[in-house]
């Protein structure tokens, strides 16, 4: 028979593992319309238990993962299933043909919530990115944790100030997403490529400043690290990701 000390050690370490490794993502739809969130694991990280699901207004859904983990979340809008049974979305579509994205990312323009979770009391990193454009307002609120753990939010509707040359419109002419200048024009100056491939040679542009002006806490272009867009938190129990915060 095992000694009580060994048994309690096993329970203690199981407890430690659970509390230090499990991170719960709660995705909430605060928009007045349905949103179909998508999830994508990063390189070497396990796929989450769901890669896509539907949230009616006010609904939320939780997923857990174990650190180390990296990946991203986004929202899809204007989704429907056609006569042949193929599911697609007007924005953020992952082109899987189904509600589950199954390893495919969201097509730009799409607002992203990005995470790198670490173990052993290290710092998780999280951020909101408009580098691939904007489709939905979104926020990240860490739950508990220490050493930072600030909320990052992009609550503004960038679509409402999107310049015509970046705008994606629906059939009625409403702006439903706003492209990055890189996606719209493909030029090195906007994409931070070729002679613009360093933070020093790729300063903000009149286009990235539109995104930054609306959502100062989100990345507005590839080298937008200067201004506290990357957030850190040590050992939170999880994160709440809200669309239309
Ligand atoms: C995501 O997870 C799946 C399943 O675990 C895996 O096949 C895939 O390689 C992962 N993606 C990346 C980029 O590592
Ligand atoms: C941004 O600058 C470019 C040229 O530098 C100009 O053609 C374009 O109209 C400007 N766009 C906005 C939205 O200011
Ligand atoms: C940081 O953001 C603030 C508020 O959006 C802005 O006024 C300031 O110019 C930014 N600084 C840099 C270095 O981008």
What are the 10-residue block averages of pLDDT along the chain, 245 residues in total?
52 48 93 98 97 98 96 98 98 98 98 95 95 98 96 98 98 97 97 96 96 96 79 96 98
Ligand 3 pocket: which of 204, 214, 226, 227 to mutate (most atoms within 8 A of CB)? 227
Give the distance (Å) from ligand 3 centre to CA of residue 155.
Answer: 17
Nearest Cα residue to 212 out of 201, 228, 199? 228
Give the C-alpha separation, 118 to 188, whole Å. 34
Residue owning tokens 């790729």: 202
Task: Annotate 78-107 with b (16+ C-beta within 10 A) or e (fewer).
Answer: bbeeeeeeebbbbbbbbebbbbbbeebbbb
Give the distance (Å) from ligand 1 centre to CA of residue 48.
Answer: 10
End-to-end CA distance of the chain: 54
* pLDDT in the model for residue 8: 53
**Whole-Å CA distances, 22 to 51, 118, 142, 237:** 18, 11, 14, 7
Give the C-alpha separation, 38 to 92, whole Å. 8
* pLDDT in the model for residue 168: 98
Beta bridge partners of 89: 79
Which ligand has an atom closest to residue 51 CA?
1
Instruction: Enter the DSSP assignment of 87.
Output: E
* pLDDT in the model for residue 1: 46
Give the distance (Å) from ligand 1 centre to CA of residue 116.
Answer: 15
* pLDDT in the model for residue 170: 96
**CATH code of domain 4-243:** 2.60.110.10
Atom of ligand 3 nearest to the CA of 226: 13
* pLDDT in the model for residue 18: 45
């Amino acid at each position: 028979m095992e000694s009580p000390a060994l048994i309690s050690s096993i329970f203690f370490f199981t407890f430690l593992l659970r509390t230090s490794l499990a991170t719960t993502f709660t995705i909430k739809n605060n928009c007045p319309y349905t949103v179909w969130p998508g999830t994508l694991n990063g390189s070497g990280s396990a796929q989450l238990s769901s890669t896509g699901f539907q949230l009616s207004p006010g609904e939320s859904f939780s997923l857990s993962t174990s650190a180390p983990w990296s990946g991203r979340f986004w929202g899809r809008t204007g989704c429907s299933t056609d006569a042949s049974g193929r599911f697609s979305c007007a924005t953020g579509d992952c082109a899987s043909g189904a509600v589950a994205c199954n390893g495919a990312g969201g097509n730009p323009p799409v607002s992203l919530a990005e995470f790198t979770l670490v173990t052993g009391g290290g710092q998780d990193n999280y951020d909101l990115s408009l580098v691939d454009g904007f489709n939905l307002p979104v926020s990240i609120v860490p739950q508990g944790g220490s050493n930072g753990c600030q909320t990052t939010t992009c609550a503004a509707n960038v679509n409402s100030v999107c310049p015509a040359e970046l705008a994606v419109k629906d059939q009625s002419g409403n702006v439903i997403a706003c492209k990055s200048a890189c996606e719209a024009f493909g030029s090195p100056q906007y994409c931070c490529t070729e002679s613009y491939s360093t933070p020093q040679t790729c300063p903000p542009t009149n286009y990235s400043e539109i995104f930054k002006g609306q959502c100062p806490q989100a990345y507005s272009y590839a080298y937008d690290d200067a201004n506290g867009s990357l957030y850190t938190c040590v050992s939170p129990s999880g994160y709440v990701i809200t669309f239309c915060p």
